[in-house]
Each structure stands twice: as C-alpha cells, then as structure tokens.
C-alpha cells in the first residue's frame, strides 16, 4: 500500500532538495513535534542541531551559521523565544510549527529581516508517516528562498495548503479550539457521571465507540498544549460562548417539547450541509467499516 511504501522510504531516507543548506537548528528539537521534524530533516540528509531549553548559554554558537531555524516550543513561550532570535544570518530561513499563526508570524517578521515562513502541521507526533497528512503554511517574506522546503515537505508525503495567518487562526477557532473544548467538556462530564466504561463499550455501536475514542484520545495527550490552543485567542472564547448559548436555546426547545422547532432546525442544518450531508454519510460508513475491521482483528 501507499502507506507502507512511504514508511519504508522513511527508513532508507528521502531525497535532499537543498544539499548546500547550512545546518538546520530546531529550537525545541527535543520536544515531540520538533523531534519528528529533526528526524525527517536528518533522513533527508540535512545537518540538524537541536536548541533545547538548557542551551541558550551557547545559542550564539549554535545559531551562528544556521541555514534555517525552525521554532517548535510550547505555544505560550513561542513569541518570547522568537524574540531572542535577533542575530540570525540575513539569508537564514526562519520558520515555526506553532498551532496558531498570526502572533508567531508577526514576531518572526519583526525579529528577522531574512526569509520567514509559518508552518502548521495538521498532525501530532504520533503518526507513522506524512502520507495523506496536511501541512498548512503562511508566507512571511522572500517566498522564493523557501520553495525547496515546501517541495521537501511534499517529498515526505504531505499535502500543502497555503493560507493567510488571519484566515488560519479564524478556521482554527472552529477546527481546534471549539472541537477540543467540547471534547474536554464531554470528558469532564463522563468523569463526573462516572459510568462503567466497559459497560458503555459493550453497549456501543461502532460510531459511539469512535466518538468515545475521539474524546478519550485527547486525555492521552498534553494538557498544556490543549489549554494553550483553546486559550490562544479571544475569538476562541467568543466562539465557545456562542456555542454555549445555542446549547441553551436547544435545551429550551426540549423543555417546551417543541418537536416542530426541532424538525425545522434539523432541516435548516441539513440544507446548510447540502450535498455534503449525503457525502458525509457515505464517508463515515467507510470509516466505520475500517474501524470495525481493526477492533475485531
């Protein structure tokens, strides 16, 4: 399969598109996502250095001849760490992997006058390969000098998606902040209600099992990362409050036993989804077949 061919390519290495590049420094390279990118760069033949939290005493040496610097540190520290990168060579590419884009991109443009690009890998460090994964990017400055990087990421198997930092952050309000927050609240609710998980699973259809998995997997990850993502922008809280308000309105509808209003709202949403409603039904049936195959293996 495609997935297997990509993971075997991982072992043997990837084509190097910029062999003359000076060392790549990954700030936060001992972390999860930074570590993954270090491995990908090394497997592609680049010279990689890690700059960890204990390394700032010798940062000038590590950074002096950098060809590219990639920032992958906790979100809440990102802008202050970027602000320390004020002595990079002029032709050095400055990039970041942060899950939010406006603030870090602005900070990179302010601290460095050379090429700047913001990246947001839409995956966590637990993936086996980049095949079928998406990397979103925001142009910062001198895009001609980092086209090779974008091509390199495609060689790793990922698909690229270009967007403005503002549009990215607006999209992430729904895709990350609201979704992770509703998973968080559902998890809190389950823990408070304290049902027997085994019993729930034994009663579950595959789709509920999948839903439980989507919620449960959040709590196998880093609380700080999700707190930072959810609290990264004021528009996130505003969006979550609007969701809360609609939840309240829907509960009032239940209290009135208003099936007519329910049906009307239901049809309105169906209309909003348009052709996607049917498409998603088919797509989820395929996913469920796969999920079912893997749980019974």
Q: Residue numbers of the site for ligand NAD (CB under 6 A)?
A: 27-28, 30-34, 51-53, 72-75, 77-78, 81, 97-99, 121, 124-125, 225
3-state secondary structure of 160: strand
Q: Which is nearer to ligand NAD, 159 or 292 (CB)?
A: 159
| Minimum distance, C-beta of residue 247 to ligand NAD, in the bound complex (Å) | 27
Can you tell me the distance from the alpha carbon of 13 to that of 170, in angstroms, rounded to the nearest whole number? 36
CA distance 17 to 9: 16
Q: Which residue has the closest beta carbon to ligand NAD?
A: 31
CB of 253 to ligand NAD, least distance (A): 37
Q: Tokens 């052709």, residue?
A: 275
Output the smallest distance, CB 54 to ligand NAD, in A. 8
List phi, psi (to 5°) of 93.
-85, 130
Unique residue bearing structure tokens 């895009």: 143
Question: Smallest distance from the beta carbon of 226 to ligand NAD, in angstroms?
Answer: 9
Question: How far is 85 from 271, CA to CA, in rounded Å?
Answer: 50
Q: How far is the CB of 56 from ligand NAD (least distance, A)?
A: 6
Residue 85 has φ and ψ, to the nearest 5°, of: -90, 55
Q: Give the residue among 155, 159, 160, 171 at the shortest CA–CA distance from 117.
A: 160
Residue 76 or 205: the one with the smaller Cβ distance to ligand NAD is: 76
Cα gap 296→292, rounded to integer Å: 6
Give the contacts of 42 (CB within 8 A, at least 6 positions apart). 48
Using alpha carbons only, how large is the chain's radius of gyration in Å?
22
Nearer to ligand NAD, 37 or 46 (CB): 37
Nearer to ligand NAD, 30 or 243 (CB): 30
Closest CB to ligand NAD among residues 51, 153: 51
Q: Which is nearer to ligand NAD, 34 or 115 (CB)?
A: 34
- What is the nearest approach in angstroms of ligand NAD to the Cβ of residue 128? 15
């Amino acid at each position: 399969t495609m997935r297997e061919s990509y993971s075997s390519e991982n072992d043997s290495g990837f084509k190097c598109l910029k062999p003359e590049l000076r060392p790549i420094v990954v700030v936060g390279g001992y972390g999860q996502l930074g570590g993954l990118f270090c491995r990908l760069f090394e497997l592609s033949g680049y010279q990689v250095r890690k700059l960890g939290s204990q390394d700032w005493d010798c940062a000038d040496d590590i950074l002096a001849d950098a060809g590219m610097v990639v920032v992958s540190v906790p979100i809440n520290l990102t802008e202050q760490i970027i602000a320390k990168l004020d002595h990079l060579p002029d032709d050095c590419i400055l990039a970041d992997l942060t899950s939010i884009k406006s603030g870090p991109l602005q900070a990179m443009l302010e601290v460095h006058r050379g090429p700047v690009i913001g990246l947001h890998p839409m995956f966590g460090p637990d993936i086996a390969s980049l095949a079928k994964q998406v990397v979103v990017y925001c142009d910062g400055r001198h895009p001609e000098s980092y086209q090779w990087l974008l091509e390199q990421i495609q060689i790793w198997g990922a698909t690229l998606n270009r967007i403005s930092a503002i549009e990215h952050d607006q999209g992430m309000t729904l895709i990350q902040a609201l979704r992770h927050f509703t998973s968080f609240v559902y998890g809190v609710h389950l823990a408070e209600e304290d049902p027997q998980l085994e019993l729930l699973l034994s009663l579950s259809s595959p789709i509920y099992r999948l839903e439980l998995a989507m919620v449960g997997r959040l709590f196998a990850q880093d609380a700080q990362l999700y707190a930072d993502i959810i609290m990264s922008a004021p528009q996130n809280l505003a969006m979550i409050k609007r969701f809360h308000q609609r939840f309240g309105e829907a509960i009032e509808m239940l209290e009135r036993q208003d099936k007519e209003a329910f049906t009307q709202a239901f049809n309105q949403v169906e209309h909003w989804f348009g052709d996607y409603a049917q498409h998603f039904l088919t797509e989820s049936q395929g996913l469920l077949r796969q999920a079912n195959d893997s749980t019974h293996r």
